[in-house]
Chain A
Amino acid sequence: MSLWFWVLAACAAVYATKLLGYLVPQSWLVHPAVGRVSAMLTIGLLAALVAMNTFSAEASVTIDARLGALLAAALALLLRAPFIVVVLVGAGAAAGIRALG
């Protein structure tokens, strides 16, 4: 019962964080600076997601097979590989590096 309370409360709280962004008044979004900030924010957020998924470790950062996946994916992108190939190259690199130990 108590655990159910926290589960449902967390679901409601996280949904609120998502909905909150959609409740920003439209008038705030038409300011000319918003377009430029939005483009920069996209780059910043995606780069942060790349870094977080590459180096995250429990309460720290670490270098492991995921860095190999990042480099292999970058190489695939330089060679203009399609998205799905880039993803598979990333998986293959991480799995391969781990298999080689």
Chain B
Amino acid sequence: MIPAAPVPLRRSPALRTGLSIATAISLYGVSFGALSTAAGMTLWQTVALSALLFSGASQFAFIGILASGGTGAAALGAATLLSGRNTIYAVQMKALLNPRGFKRLAAAQLTIDESAAVAMSAPDPLERRRGFWGAGIACYLFWNLATVLGALLGDVIAEPEALGLDGAVVAAFLGLLWPRLKSLDAWALAVLAALVTTVTMPLLAPGIPVLAAAVVAVVWGLTSKGARS
């Protein structure tokens, strides 16, 4: 597809980043599988959520609401609301990658926090494409394998937190943001977006604070003059 690749695929930084993130999230897949079956889902329903829904936060919300006695409609509503940010990622990915035909349908399924974040932080079109597909496919495979493992092993699983996996996820997203913080303008927006997210988290439904931060960023982009990045 690309005539001259500057870096061979094996040494692609975006691909390596994608694989690191996929490894970090896979233990969450194990705990999702375990919690989902504990919440009363069958093995196949658990597998369906990871294979077909494939959006970690939405999946945890779905089973969490059912486990706490919520209705199926409430679980569906929360999962969908939490996936609102995927719509924004999808617009970004369309602008960056513009996949067509079957690839568009596949790209839509793989559009999640991790794949979008790796693609957005890559420096050029080739790396963006490698980052998106590499992170997306690796996350999909690892997440689904981990889900099955967790569903079969059940309660035997250690808490991912004990291994610091939640710290790994925080570090990964900071690592993706970091190269973008090259100007005072960028720092100011990042701090503001983080503040808006944190302040609205206790007030808004899960997933919505990220959308609030997105609105702030759009307004910032439209109003700031001479913004460079």
Contacts and interface: CB of A to CB of B under 8 A. Distances in A.
B16 A83 contact: yes
B164 A10 contact: no
B220 A29 contact: no
Contacts, number: 300
B134 interface: no
Nearest to B183: A43
A101 to B, nearest CB: 12
Interface string B70-101: 00110110011001111111111111001100
Contact of A43 (B116, B190, B209): B190
Chain A binding surface, main DSSP class: helix
Contact of B90 (A20, A65, A72, A92): A20
Interface residues of B, number: 95
Given A45-B214, A95-B167, A39 B55 contact: no
A3 to B, nearest CB: 7
A59 B21 CA distance: 26
Interface of B: 13, 16-17, 20-21, 24, 40-41, 45, 48-49, 52-55, 58, 62, 66, 72-73, 75-76, 79-80, 83-95, 98-99, 104-105, 107-109, 111, 113, 116-117, 120-121, 161-178, 180-181, 186, 189-191, 193-198, 201-202, 209-210, 213-214, 216-218, 220-222, 224, 227, 229
A87 to B, nearest CB: 5
